[in-house]
């Protein structure tokens, strides 16, 4: 029996996807997946040190890790209407925020990559903090604006904040593609057979969750930052979709375009490795 480390976040979309895989609800012959729950930025950093066999990562981090890790087709977060937002206490434009302090949820997040692709000057005074602290930091004027992700998308208006830009909507208008946010990656040295088997099992785990939603709720609530059931359901509906079952050709083109733009700006380096493990 082989044990593989499996990193994913405590966010509802991830605990929904992986519930069946780590709770023995589907058969995993010859393999045990050991769950490691950390926020995505911590997982990104662990992957930089190749500490995890399989892990959730931002596409930003994967762009830097392509020589060591390959992309899986299942389990990712891509979509439309689900990108990061920049919010502020007062009405302003993105140009107004040049030279201002913007709270970001991590240097390796795709949210920060999209912010840099939109306007490289906005990275100058970026301030890293845990994603769930950003709204309070903006409210308390500790920062001039915040780059928000996850549940914060659904709650910022209740806190009296204003949207400056929806970077996901900008990306969709700019490219016509869904926004690639997070992905599941596996160490290339696991070999094609094990990587492809894991990919198929993640898809089965998600199919189980779709057919047994009520069963997953206790596990999801145990780890969620936001316990309101309506917010949890919104979160899952937004970030878990057909692209989570399979990235599809359109999703692959979206990733290629994101990496092309990021490479042109010098944010990530080039890699000769293909996205997927082919041998």
Angstrom distance (rounded) from CA 2 to CA 181: 30
Q: Tell me if residue 235 is catalytic.
A: no
Q: What are the residues whose beta carbons fall under 8 Å from the beta carbon of 6, sequence distance 6 or more?
A: 18, 21, 22, 33, 34, 35, 36, 52, 53, 54, 55
CA distances from 212 to 8, 205, 207, 216, 217 (A): 20, 10, 9, 7, 9
DSSP letter assigned to residue 107: T
Count Cα neighbours of 234 within 13 Å in the Cβ-side half-sphere: 14
Beta-sheet strands, E only, within the chain: 2-8, 31-37, 54-58, 69-71, 77-79, 85-88, 102-104, 126-128, 145-148, 162-166, 179-187
Neighbours of 63 (CB within 10 A): 22
List the catalytic residue out of 60, 150, 223, 235. 150
Question: Which active-site residues does the annotation give?
Answer: 150
């Amino acid at each position: 029996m082989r044990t593989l480390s499996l990193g994913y976040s405590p966010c509802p979309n991830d605990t929904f996807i992986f519930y069946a895989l780590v709770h023995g609800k589907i058969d995993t012959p010859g393999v045990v997946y050991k769950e490691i729950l950390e926020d995505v930025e911590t997982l990104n950093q662990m992957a930089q040190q190749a500490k995890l066999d399989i892990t959730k990562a931002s596409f930003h981090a994967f762009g830097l890790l392509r020589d060591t890790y390959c992309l899986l087709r299942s389990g990712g977060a891509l979509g439309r209407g689900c990108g990061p937002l920049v919010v502020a206490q007062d009405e302003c434009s993105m140009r107004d925020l040049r030279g201002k302090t913007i709270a970001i949820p991590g240097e390796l997040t795709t949210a920060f990559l999209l912010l840099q692709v939109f306007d490289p000057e906005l990275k100058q005074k970026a301030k890293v903090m845990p994603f769930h602290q950003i709204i309070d930091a903006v409210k308390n004027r500790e920062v001039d604006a915040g780059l928000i992700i996850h549940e914060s998308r659904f709650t910022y208006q209740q806190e009296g904040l204003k949207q400056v830009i929806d970077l996901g909507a900008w990306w969709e208008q700019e490219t016509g593609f869904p926004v690639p946010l997070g992905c599941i990656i596996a160490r290339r040295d696991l070999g094609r057979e094990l990587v492809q088997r894991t990919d198929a099992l993640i898809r089965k785990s998600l199919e189980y969750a779709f057919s047994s939603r009520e069963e997953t709720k206790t596990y999801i609530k145990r780890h969620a930052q936001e316990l309101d059931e309506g917010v949890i359901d919104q979160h899952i509906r937004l970030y878990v979709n057909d692209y989570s079952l399979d990235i599809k050709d359109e999703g692959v083109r979206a990733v290629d375009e994101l990496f092309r733009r990021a490479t042109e700006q010098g944010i990530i380096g080039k890699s000769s490795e293909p996205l997927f493990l082919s041998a």
